Structure formats: C-alpha cells, structure tokens
Amino acid sequence: MGFQAADLRQFQTTGLAGEVAREGPLRVAPWILLSTPEDNVIGLAFTKVADKTAQVGGDISAGAAFVGIMIRPKEHALVGSGATTLTATNILADGIVAQMCDMGILYVQLDNTSVQAVAGAVGTALFFDDTTGVIAAGTAGAGESVIPNAVIVLEDVADDGLAIVSLTN
C-alpha cells in the first residue's frame, strides 16, 4: 500500500462541506443510506425512504420528508476508489449508517452552476435538487425542493461556493 499521492483541495478555506461550523443548537440523527443509483455524498440533502433509511435528494412536494444534510466528513473510514484506498472521496456506500443534521450551523458546498444572482447574500433561502441532493441558494424551481428553515449565514471569502448555513427545524 502506497502513500496518499495528492491533495485535491487547492485553496485555503475555513472548513469542509458537512462539518459543523459554529457552536449552537445541534440536532443529529443516525440514518441508513440507500440512494442507488445516486451517490451518498457528505454535505448533500437527504429525505426519508423508510424507517431510519434515507436517500439523497427526494421530492418534498410529493411527500418525502427532509431528514437533514449528511455531516461529519472526518468520521467515516476512507475507502477510496478501486485499489487506491487513500483516494480522497466524500462518497459513502449504501447500507452505511451516517449522521443527518436537521438543526445546526454547518458548512455547505453551494452549487455554483444553479446559484442565482441573490445567492450568497446572508438570509438567502436554500433548496436542493430532487435527484442529486445538491444544495443551492435562491428560489427553487421545477425538480427542486426548499430546505425548510435553512438560510445562508456567511459565504466563504474564497468564492468557491462554500457557505455557512443555519438549519432551524
């Protein structure tokens, strides 16, 4: 087994997507991941599939219950990809128990491709893609669901889409 070959983070930042950013009320619950064929990525939005089972994305307007944003990227074993076990990844396999946060102040990677002009402003509401769970800021459109009681608290100065958000469910 070789050493880790590369660091994929090429800019200075204050945190990683899915980390708790600040002290304050925090509500976290364990959920079993079941998102095939989509990837279970730390820092994305998840909804309830069955009792204590969550999937990435999901249509809240069709009755899916928001369970939270998957957090704690440093808590899980690094499995990498293929024969390279130290390849950096935030993707977890189905069947793993992961922590979902529905109340707290977290780092979230906002999707810059769908962020609207108002994105990044403190107080801007958050939504996620119903298929991928990718989070963005602004007004939700077709195929997107609003994250209840979630707003931007601070956008990272690196302008890479990393933001501190508050969930108060």
Give tens-digit pLDDT for 102-149: 999 999 988 865 444 444 578 889 999 999 999 998 889 999 999 999
Q: Phi, psi (5° rounding) for residue 31?
A: -135, 145
Sequence ranges of the domains in the chain: 27-168
* Measured CA angle at 79 (ends 22, 87), to 5 deg: 85
The CATH number of 27-168 is 2.40.300
Least confident of 9-18, 30-39, 130-139, 147-156: 9-18
CA 50 to mean position of chain CA atoms: 20
SS3 135: strand
